[in-house]
Structure 1
């Protein structure tokens, strides 16, 4: 693996100015449509379009690792479990494999936890450039009182979270209340201060791809630094058709404003080969600049274990059992 490939897999997180948002432009929002049959046909071709082998595949898998938000969002999370997850975030692949690949220093993009686990995560990641992301605003349903949702953001930022994953009110999308959605996300953005805001659309609950397209645009207008597919708690999470719609909204927003907004598919992405498909879609639709952790993340946990297993096969020529690559 070349020195250039190695350098590009590392952080820092942010190199572009943040998206400042813009006034709500309803003409721009309502122009967003979605031809479902065409989108699904395009998505169906994606898994067979690119074939990556040997060193090229290993390099892309290393890039995928650098873009993972390593996540634990379980009701029985403990400081010890979070500390183990953070140790995996600091060294996501066995040291001997990293040395063989020439990737010493590779880390994941962030660690994502509930509010109560921010302090243990910040402590475990001290001395690294790995940010802690916290889910907020009544995650996962977003149905708690609005003032409490705003206050929750402030508490998480004060506790040390550098990224806040907020959930939008799905009912505002389903009823076409675009002004209400814009005002909500704009208020959340202001409450985040210097912390980056990822707007979770919960696309599996929005009804149509057109709603996904319009909600994506409104959230970006309100100042979202990332738009994200899912909480991981819905019955349908990240899919390729939804990803295609959201990436094209990002591309159009960039064309209109010059601002780059990040993308995060989350939920159900657990295999290395699926990660490669998503990376290839990002490359095709948004370009190489988005293949960095400041503009692309996977919301995942078990994905890392499968990628490590594939990298071990690349180095040794043998597959190991999945239990040998525990996440935490």
Structure 2
């Protein structure tokens, strides 16, 4: 991922784009003033706009292109206590060749696993180009001492992780200890070394849209390469209105700083129809620059199966049987 220069056509700012970020993070009081000075979110208006975007539809060739793009954006994920090396090898094989009967089917963006299974995924994926993402920092709760979180991150990177998905300390954030959260993200970013950092906000626990906007800006100012909605362990997870707000945040952050940050909704996105709603929202809110796996991802496990079934339906005119795709 390479950060482009500011793109003037990315859309209008929400007021925060003109903010002077110099000195904002020097102390807790300055950070608080900045974050609480961001424009408030009209929840009714945000919900209404997201609902309108969800009604948009695309057909034929555009739909086929959207399905292939969505496949390329999937972080194929298994984050269960019962995960085994065999399951991760199978999932990695599926990520490389989602449809073994059709070599034209693109690979997914990444495989996302726990840190102790990174080496297994890395060995299986080899030089395929599919990345290995690892959750870290005491996922999913984030309840651990900072040195443990940093060790968790370093271990995953040393095992071969290309990307780290960290969780913020929601207790600290909701208590207003913004500088603590900021400094922890900075430290984890440093521990990542060459790996990219996705910062999980766990929006289902942030309660308000204003908090989602503040957490998004906080993570980006601390150096996040991606901001991610959820762990998938808390409901609600990736909703369209919350993702829309995060897309507004990355758009305005690039207008303010020239730095582009990606967005990853995760949890609860299971159908092709849902994935297309998210892609339409990306295009309408952030702009075409984000319609790329380098800048937008789906954290999912079952979504890929539906994308494959819909892909074959468009090619053959009929739905495949239940045995067409593997059960993850």
Q: TM-score, with normalisation over the residues of structure 1?
A: 0.90
The answer on 1:66 being equivalent to 2:53 is no
Alpha-carbon shift at residue 30 of structure 1 (Å): 2.1
Question: 1: distance between equivalents of 2:229 and 2:323?
Answer: 29
2:161 aligned counterpart, secondary structure? coil
The answer on 1:39 being equivalent to 2:26 is no
Match of 2:263 in 1: 263
1:324 aligned counterpart, secondary structure? coil
Match of 1:131 in 2: 131
Task: Note the aligned Cα RMSD (angstroms).
Answer: 1.8
Question: Does structure 2 conserve the Cα–Cα contact (< 8 Å) formed by 1:203 and 1:229?
Answer: yes
Question: Does structure 1 conserve the Cα–Cα contact (< 8 Å) formed by 2:4 and 2:258?
Answer: no
Question: Does structure 2 conserve the Cα–Cα contact (< 8 Å) formed by 1:90 and 1:107?
Answer: yes
Matches within 5 A, 1:195-210: 195-210=195-210
Match of 1:55 in 2: 61
Unmatched tracts of structure 2, length 5 or more: 6-20
Matches within 5 A, 1:239-250: 239-250=239-250
2:54 aligned counterpart, secondary structure? helix
Question: 2: distance between equivalents of 1:304 and 1:41?
Answer: 28
**CA offsets, 1:99-129, max 9 Å, x none?**
xxxx36x210110000111011000001211
The number of residues matched between the two structures is 307
Match of 2:13 in 1: none
Unmatched tracts of structure 1, length 5 or more: 1-13
Match of 1:194 in 2: 194
Q: TM-score, with normalisation over the residues of structure 2?
A: 0.90
Match of 2:10 in 1: none
**CA offsets, 1:157-198, max 9 Å, x none?**
100001000000001221122111111111111111111000
**CA offsets, 1:240-263, max 9 Å, x none?**
111111111111111100100000
Alpha-carbon shift at residue 17 of structure 1 (Å): 6.3
Question: 1: distance between equivalents of 2:244 and 2:54?
Answer: 13
Question: Does structure 2 conserve the Cα–Cα contact (< 8 Å) formed by 1:238 and 1:265?
Answer: yes
Question: 1: distance between equivalents of 2:82 and 2:178?
Answer: 36
Question: Does structure 2 conserve the Cα–Cα contact (< 8 Å) formed by 1:137 and 1:150?
Answer: yes
Alpha-carbon shift at residue 229 of structure 1 (Å): 0.2
